[in-house]
Structure 1
Amino acid sequence: MKKIKLYKYLLSNPIASQRKMAEDLEISVGTINSLIKKGILEKEIEVNEISYREKEYILTSKAKELYQSFGKVQTAVILAAGEEKEFNFPRSFLMLEKESLLERHIKLLKVNNVKKIVVIVGQEIERYEELKEKYNLIIIKNELYKTTGTLYSLSLIKNYIKEDFILIEGDLIYQEVALKFLLIDTSYNSTIISEISDRSDNVYVNIENTNLTRISKDRYSLGNISGELVGISKISYLFFKDMLKELERNSNPLYFYEYALERVSREKKLKCLLIPSLLWGEIDNKRQYNEAKKLYKKIREREDD
């Protein structure tokens, strides 16, 4: 809905010119002008004349209520294109009792009213056909999955998505509460972090006033560690477009999307949502898979309470 898209934009960019709005939102200038005129007539937009060439577009409470009703994120992207080293099939199909890792992601998203789900995969794309039909998924194959990183995989959605989305690393297992925190948070861009643990291959974060400032896998490179990046984020379309620019500027094909989050967050805030005692883990190898099966039982017990 173009109107909701525009209103969300105005909440953070009230002084942008109509030409700038059109460029950022990929909507014609004529449509932007028409939506603004209609918004003024319907008392959803008020205009403050700053100067002859500059105007401030202020959303009224009526418009904000409309945005809150219809502006919920309903799209998700699952990164599942990593090369398998310890398993002879995609980790997405590792079983957690009666459901696969990927199917758990899908069910959690569906029950939280996420309607459009895109999965970026690497090897054995044919394995995904059954789930694609069952849940109406969009499956995108990264043909270069052996030689590219997660940011390149993420970039492959650019022809499929023009809206905000939830981004999930496919090798994760986590409590549903992490997803709920993201969906009810009113920030444009946010990511889940947890308390510091003794896991291997952690991604540590430093935050200031709840916003991300630095990311590092070396805990000693951060002056102050605020928590660990879980791998579940809410990304606005404008933030995503800036992440694509980071990929264009970087010559390293193995560039991780987490570092693009950090770079873009220097201009667009990325809120870090700390969930105390969150149960979560990742599966990169057989040892972690065995741990994940035990963790899954604890998660189910906690979610069933």
Structure 2
Amino acid sequence: MIKTAVIMAAGLGSRFGHMTETMPKGFIECGGKAMVVRSIEALIACGIERIIIGTGYKKEAYEQLASSFPQIECVFSPRYAETNSMFTLWNCREAIGNDDFLLLESDIIFSRNALTELIDDAHPDIMLITPVTKFQDQYYVEYDANGTLTRCSTDRDAIDAKGELVGIHKLSASFYQKMCADYAQIVDEKPKLGYEYELLHMSQAISRVFVLNAKDVHWYEIDDERDLQYAEEHVVGKL
């Protein structure tokens, strides 16, 4: 059973404007509850015992949250303003150690079966996708007949898009360690690499990533105030 989760929460959240002047974007409320608290409660309900949060901007908010949830361990990245999600994930490598884990972003809301479908699936390394639901900033995913991740793009017409990236994954310790070793070779060259592009490179060249297309999962990534309004009107009630 998976007992560890990692939440990526270092970003500035600049697209929210004034809303993130006093808090990191994970603390923005959707449907009356902070997005990151929704995720933490769902993780604990699914049996997760360790929750590692990769922090950066307004790290104190997450450190304070740990006083309410003893499962939380914060790992601060002092380079958060000049790096991206892969650096944050790589920065958590000592805390993660030899654990298999679920990987989540801090700015998503989702139905609990997004977690249980990953936990219950036998494949060790999985990218969760669903049919396209988001009206902006989509990240499209292609996979082959065996379910192996083959290509990703923000341009739907550039690939044979089978669905859209949710922002929740399952990774084995052995895969993650290979991923970190690979990234360590280019960290100075590509500090702003998104972890999804490293996952793609891994699947293409080093170790297979299985794509789970879950048609009954409800979710939404909330990047700005327009997303927040849409999620509150159309998604929260389905979770």
Determine if the TM-score, normalized by the shorter chain, exceeds 0.5.
Answer: yes
Once the 2 structures are TM-superposed, how far is the Cα of residue 225 of structure 1 from its aligned partner? 1.1
Give the corresponding residue for 1:83.
12
User: Conserved in 2, the CA contact under 8 Å of 1:182 and 1:234?
Assistant: yes
Measure the CA separation in 1 of the matches of 2:117 and 2:12: 30
Give the corresponding residue for 1:260.
198
Measure the CA separation in 2 of the matches of 1:93 and 1:197: 23
Structure 1 unaligned residues grouped into runs of 5+: 1-71, 301-305
Name the Cα RMSD after superposition. 1.5
Aligned residues between the structures? 228
TM-score scaled to structure 1, two decimals? 0.71
Indicate yes or no: 2:6 matched with 1:74: no
For residue 218 of structure 1, the aligned residue among 135, 155, 159 is 155
Which residue identity does 1:282 align to in structure 2? E
Indicate yes or no: 2:104 matched with 1:168: yes
Once the 2 structures are TM-superposed, how far is the Cα of residue 239 of structure 1 from its aligned partner? 1.1
User: Conserved in 1, the CA contact under 8 Å of 2:101 and 2:173?
Assistant: yes
Measure the CA separation in 1 of the matches of 2:210 and 2:120: 13
Which residue identity does 1:114 align to in structure 2? I
Question: What CA deviation, in whole Å up to 9, does each residue of 1:255-289 have, x standing for no partner?
Answer: 01001111111332211111115321111111111
The structure with the largest alpha-carbon Rg is 1
Indicate yes or no: 2:168 matched with 1:232: yes
Give the corresponding residue for 2:68.
134
Indicate yes or no: 2:43 matched with 1:109: yes
Greater relative CO, 1 or 2 (CA 8 Å, sep 6+): 2
Structure 2 unaligned residues grouped into runs of 5+: none
For residue 286 of structure 1, the aligned residue among 209, 219, 225 is 225
Secondary structure of 1:123's aligned partner: coil
Segments of 4+ in structure 1 off by > 3 A?
A: none
User: Conserved in 2, the CA contact under 8 Å of 1:96 and 1:296?
Assistant: no
Question: What CA deviation, in whole Å up to 9, does each residue of 1:117-151 have, x standing for no partner?
Answer: 00111122222233202211101112111110100
Give the corresponding residue for 1:249.
185
Residues 275 and 111 from structure 1, CA distance in 2 versus in 1: closer, same or farther, beyond 3 angstroms? same
For residue 91 of structure 2, the aligned residue among 147, 152, 156 is 156
Identity %: 29
TM-score scaled to structure 2, two decimals? 0.90
Secondary structure of 1:114's aligned partner: coil
User: Conserved in 1, the CA contact under 8 Å of 2:127 and 2:210?
Assistant: yes
